[in-house]
């Protein structure tokens, strides 16, 4: 593992530990302890029905009335009774002080969110008899009445925070990392990519979405959001929708990781999504009760667990040796076992601490799945860098370090796709007397001549963002540049000065033949036509050089000195 990456992981874990330590310090400080403030009192004992004591959890299919005696209470406190009810009425000292109201969602009555009775208290209620008449819901859950206590709203929040520290930490961690993963993956998904690379980023996207949805479900199960904000019905619906989406997103991640893109996989995927959409739509129009959507979620959980188990099994079966897929398959198996166990206990008794097992399963799942995704993305990025480097190598002349013929004509093709700019100029360059240097001083001298020419070309033209320099082969160079006549002449003049004063081990000064053609002077020409005109001008320049110096193209005249 890369040392810097290891250090980052250690630093992240260290910061997370410090923040958790500080959070625990706040939650468990004596300033929030009800022993000193006396703002929360458990009221689970001494409840009666028809004169007989009952114990929590208590369940009944028929309407029942429970009664108890209130302790010392204050005006900022509430009597909270946790139960899944259809309706209720509260009497204190024989006088009705509160009755349930119909929960309305999208204009329709619903029993979703009816899971806690909040009774505002006053000081004069101290020591008075409280009676609560409850009609329980026909629900999936085995225990409708689970807990009762007197508390203030702030103390209730603190108590829930203290008892759900892992859930809160996981909610923050999942939400932050989830948004980051979705953002990063979306950017790369929109880019063109091969199938495996695309599926890797899709897996990261779904992992991020799964983290956010799972975090939302976990924090809602702690009841903290609706205790702080209110809107018990809205948060309850959000919990149900999150519970429905989790198996779908889990299935999407597994599909991407195991590269399942067959028609049957698409059909199952689409069917799950359609079932969720139809179920939510029917519940919104009060055709289907929201609470019963939990049944739908359980069925989807079982289907997805079976499918992911099959993916994991078939993947391991196909592997000849241990691999990352084997690790993922094992992690999926453990997750399915823990999630299945929690699901069974959840159905059997909603008061059971199934969240603990879900958190363990989710942490294991997220770490292993996302770890593989990042590893796969890292390999893809490495391959992409290697491909980019290969592309650079393919477009670079190895001797001079500037572009080669392939690079030059690729750029020319891009220009041809649009109307050529008026100031586009094609410059053709041929190095004078390369054969002479090769034949008399050796190929090292010839190579030095070509390298020196490329260096001077870069000095003269690379400062322009519109210039492209290439060696087309042998002693031929070409330049495409967008520049007006004044700038063009200045750069050519500067180039000749640099060539004249260039010194190497073998070569003292370089001579070139140069010709150019512009679109402005040849408006109906394409780049190929410009190249022919520039070449003709360049050959005229070369001819003038040999006539002036007396050199021939194969050697030197009798007066030349080395």
Q: Which residues, 6 or more positions from 201, have their beta carbon under 8 angstroms from its beta carbon? A: 185, 188, 189, 193, 377
pLDDT at residue 372 in the model: 58
Whether residue 234 is contained in a domain is answered as yes
Q: Both 421 and 374 in a single domain?
A: no
Q: Both 187 and 101 in a single domain?
A: no
Are 89 and 99 contacting, i.e. CB atoms less than 8 angstroms apart?
yes
CATH number of residue 472's parent domain: 3.30.70.270
Give the H/E segment covering residue 557.
Answer: none
Whether residue 340 is contained in a domain is answered as yes
Beta bridge partners of 116: 82
Whether residue 554 is contained in a domain is answered as no
Q: Both 133 and 252 in a single domain?
A: no
Q: 512-518 and 40-42 as β-strands: parallel, antiparallel, unpaired?
A: unpaired
Dist CA 363 CA 211 (whole Å): 10
Whether residue 248 is contained in a domain is answered as yes
Q: Both 343 and 369 in a single domain?
A: yes
Whether residue 399 is contained in a domain is answered as no
Q: Both 100 and 248 in a single domain?
A: no
pLDDT at residue 561 in the model: 35
Q: What is the pLDDT along the chain (562 residues), one digit of tens a residue?
A: 456 556 666 766 667 667 666 665 655 554 544 444 457 888 999 999 988 999 888 888 889 999 999 998 888 899 999 988 888 999 999 999 999 888 777 777 777 888 899 999 999 999 999 999 999 887 655 457 888 999 998 888 888 888 888 788 888 888 887 888 788 778 777 765 444 556 677 877 888 888 888 888 888 888 889 888 888 888 888 888 998 898 898 888 878 777 776 788 889 989 999 999 999 888 888 787 787 888 888 888 888 878 877 877 776 665 544 455 566 666 666 766 766 666 666 655 554 455 556 666 666 666 665 655 555 555 455 545 544 555 566 778 888 888 888 888 888 887 887 778 888 999 999 999 888 888 888 888 899 999 999 999 999 998 887 888 999 988 999 999 988 999 999 999 999 999 998 888 888 889 999 999 999 999 889 999 999 999 999 999 999 988 888 776 555 543 443 3
pLDDT at residue 353 in the model: 54
Q: Both 151 and 58 in a single domain?
A: yes
Residue 491 structural domain? 405-549
Q: Both 317 and 453 in a single domain?
A: no
pLDDT at residue 36 in the model: 41
Dist CA 444 CA 457 (whole Å): 20
The closest of 244, 231, 340, 364 to 292, measured between CA atoms, is 244
Whether residue 293 is contained in a domain is answered as yes
For the CA atoms of 38, 70, 54, 62, the dihedral, rounded to the nearest 10 degrees, stands at: -120
Q: Is the peptide bond before 57 cis (omega within 30 degrees of 0)?
A: yes
Are 283 and 293 contacting, i.e. CB atoms less than 8 angstroms apart?
yes
Q: Both 241 and 185 in a single domain?
A: yes
Question: Domain tally for the chain?
Answer: 4
CATH number of residue 152's parent domain: 2.60.120.260
Whether residue 559 is contained in a domain is answered as no
Q: Both 111 and 174 in a single domain?
A: no
Other CB atoms within 10 Å distance of the CB of residue 199: 22
Whether residue 182 is contained in a domain is answered as yes
What is each CA distance from 121 to 48, 67, 72, 275, in whole angstroms?
A: 20, 16, 10, 44
Q: Both 381 and 413 in a single domain?
A: no
Are 545 and 511 contacting, i.e. CB atoms less than 8 angstroms apart?
yes
Q: Both 123 and 28 in a single domain?
A: no
Q: Both 260 and 177 in a single domain?
A: yes
Tokens at residue 68, please?
A: 């108890």
């Amino acid at each position: 593992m890369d040392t810097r990456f290891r250090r980052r992981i250690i630093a992240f874990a260290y910061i997370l530990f410090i923040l958790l330590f500080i959070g625990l310090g706040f939650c468990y400080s004596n300033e929030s302890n009800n022993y000193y403030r006396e703002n929360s009192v458990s009221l689970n004992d001494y409840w009666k029905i028809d004169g007989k004591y009952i114990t929590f959890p208590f369940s009944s299919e028929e309407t029942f009335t429970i009664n108890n005696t209130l302790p010392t209470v204050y005006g900022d406190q509430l009597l909270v009774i946790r139960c899944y009810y259809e309706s209720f009425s509260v009497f204190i000292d024989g006088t009705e002080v509160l009755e349930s109201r119909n929960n309305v969602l999208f204009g329709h009555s619903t029993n979703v969110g009816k899971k806690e009775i909040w009774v505002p208290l006053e000081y004069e209620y101290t020591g008075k008899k409280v009676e609560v008449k409850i009609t329980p819901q026909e629900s999936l859950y085995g225990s409708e009445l689970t807990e009762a206590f007197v508390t203030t709203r702030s103390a209730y929040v603190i108590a829930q925070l203290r008892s759900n520290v892992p859930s809160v930490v996981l909610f923050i961690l999942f939400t932050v990392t989830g948004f980051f993963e979705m953002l990063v993956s979306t950017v790369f998904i929109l880019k063109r990519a091969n199938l495996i690379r695309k599926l890797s980023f899709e897996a990261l996207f779904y992992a991020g979405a799964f983290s956010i949805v799972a975090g939302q479900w976990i924090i809602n199960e702690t009841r903290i959001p609706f205790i702080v904000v209110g809107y018990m019905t809205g948060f309850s619906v959000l919990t149900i929708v999150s519970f429905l989406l989790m198996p779908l997103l889990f299935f999407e991640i597994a599909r991407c990781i195991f590269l399942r893109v067959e028609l049957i996989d698409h059909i199952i995927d689409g069917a799950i999504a359609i079932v969720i959409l139809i179920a939510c739509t029917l519940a919104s129009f009060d055709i289907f009760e929201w609470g019963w959507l939990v049944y739908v979620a359980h069925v989807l959980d079982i289907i997805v667990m079976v499918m992911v188990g099959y993916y994991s099994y078939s993947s391991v079966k196909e592997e000849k040796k241990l691999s990352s897929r084997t690790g993922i398959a094992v992690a999926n198996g453990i997750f399915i076992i823990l999630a299945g166990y929690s699901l069974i206990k959840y159905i059997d008794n909603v008061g059971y601490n199934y969240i603990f097992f879900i958190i363990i399963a989710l942490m294991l799942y997220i770490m292993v799945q996302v770890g593989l995704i990042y590893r796969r993305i890292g390999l893809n990025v490495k391959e992409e860098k290697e491909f980019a480097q290969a592309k650079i190598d393919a477009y670079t002349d190895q001797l001079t370090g500037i572009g080669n013929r392939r690079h030059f004509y690729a750029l020319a093709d891009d220009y041809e796709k649009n109307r050529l700019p008026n100031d586009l100029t094609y410059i053709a360059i041929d190095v004078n007397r390369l054969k002479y240097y090769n034949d008399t001083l050796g190929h090292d001298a010839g190579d030095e001549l070509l390298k020196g020419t490329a260096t001077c070309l870069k000095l003269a033209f690379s400062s322009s963002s519109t210039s492209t320099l290439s060696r087309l082969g042998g002693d031929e160079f070409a330049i495409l540049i967008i520049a007006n006549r004044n700038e063009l002449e200045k750069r050519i003049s500067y180039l000749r000065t640099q060539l004249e004063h260039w010194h190497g081990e073998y070569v003292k000064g370089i001579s070139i033949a140069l010709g150019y053609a512009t679109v402005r002077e040849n408006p109906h020409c394409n780049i190929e036509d410009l190249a022919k005109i520039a070449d003709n001008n360049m050959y005229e320049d070369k001819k003038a050089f040999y006539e002036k110096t007396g050199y021939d193209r194969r050697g030197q005249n009798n007066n030349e000195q080395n």
